[in-house]
Amino acid sequence: MTTALTITVDQLRQLGDLLEQRCGIRVGDALHTSVEEGLARLMAKLGMSSFEEFFEQARDPEAGLRDDLVNAMVSRESWWFRDPETLTAFVTQALPECEARASQREDARVRIWSAGCSTGQEPYSLVMSLIERRREADLDPALPDSYEIVATDVSPAALFLAVAGRYGAQAIAQGLADELRERYFDQAGSTWCLADAVRQRVRFRQHNLFDPLGELAHRPFDFIFLRHVLEYFSPATQELLLANVADALPAEGLLFLGQSEELPAESVFAAVPLGDCTAYRRQP
């Protein structure tokens, strides 16, 4: 168990400046308690008990704490079928167009990236949406291999939970209809275990969205879901993150942000209306 930690407003501001410079993360005074909680977890992991000792190390770029800082300071809150209008527009409008294009390609693949996937609710909701669409069309519900779903996050702890596909009562209750819970999960005591037919369709890997994309950019994605991630970063940092991610999206591909999120003023993307939501394409 992590011991509670209290930092002063001055220390919060010092830490805020550091987070902005090193990771582009914005923490206002309003987030004082959640910063203290994240900091307490990180200091416990590093075996440190004083803010001063931690701050000295965190300031040193050679100490390699950047991913740890992002991991500790950014919320991992997620829920099932979040922003349902976006998922509806994706399934009913964007996907049929994409499938028509993909059928002209040699491998006919539709590639989807859940970037900042947290504990898996987003990519697994996408897989369930794809399967549900097949059920509604009276097709074999088994999702063909031509749908490739990749999910990444900076947080190893979040990915560990995502890969396991096991959720407690609180996590399972957030956004998941009873009917879908019964169809896709088995209950084992107080834990809900996701069916392999969904779990095994997502390929998870750790990746910091500011790092080079490596193999993520080898074959472009048709869709990138980057939802509720940008909001933790300053506008200048959002621009850098979006420019990085854009390398994995071809001109006809679509980016989805969280429904409450907007592009920063300068961006390589432009908004395109899609059903009841907005999607984004790379600017020519």
Ligand X SMILES: C[S@@+](CC[C@H](N)C(=O)[O-])C[C@H]1O[C@@H](n2cnc3c(N)ncnc32)[C@H](O)[C@@H]1O
- What is the rounded CA–CA span in Å between residue 66 and residue 20? 11
Are the C-beta atoms of 7 and 49 separated by less than 8 Å?
Answer: no
Cα end-to-end span (Å), the chain:
51
**Residue with Cβ nearer ligand X (99 or 261):** 261
- Which three-class secondary structure state does DSSP give residue 111? strand
Residue type, 84: P
Shortest Å, Cβ 137 to ligand X: 27
Instruction: Count the alpha carbons within 13 Å of 111 in the hemisphere toward its beta carbon.
Output: 18
**Residue with Cβ nearer ligand X (67 or 99):** 67
- What is the rounded CA–CA span in Å between residue 275 and residue 235? 27
Shortest Å, Cβ 122 to ligand X: 4
Residue type, 10: D
The encoded tokens of residue 2 equal: 């992590």
**Residue with Cβ nearer ligand X (146 or 234):** 234
* Strand-pair partners of 150: 113, 203
**Residue with Cβ nearer ligand X (25 or 96):** 25
**Contacts to ligand X by CB under 6 A:** 70-71, 74-78, 82, 116-118, 121-122, 153-155, 158, 208-210, 227-229, 258
**Residue with Cβ nearer ligand X (95 or 155):** 155
Shortest Å, Cβ 17 to ligand X: 18
**Residue with Cβ nearer ligand X (152 or 185):** 152
Instruction: Give backbone dihedrals phi and psi of 28, rounded to 5 degrees, phi first.
Output: -85, 170
* Strand-pair partners of 188: 191
Shortest Å, Cβ 281 to ligand X: 20
**Residue with Cβ nearer ligand X (53 or 211):** 211
The residue written with tokens 């869709």 in the block is: 223
Shortest Å, Cβ 121 to ligand X: 6
Shortest Å, Cβ 49 to ligand X: 25
- What is the gyration radius of the CA atoms in the chain, in angstroms? 20
Q: What does DSSP say about strands 166-168 and 191-194: parallel, antiparallel, or unpaired?
A: antiparallel
Shortest Å, Cβ 73 to ligand X: 9
- What is the rounded CA–CA span in Å between residue 160 and residue 63? 24
The residue written with tokens 């509720």 in the block is: 228
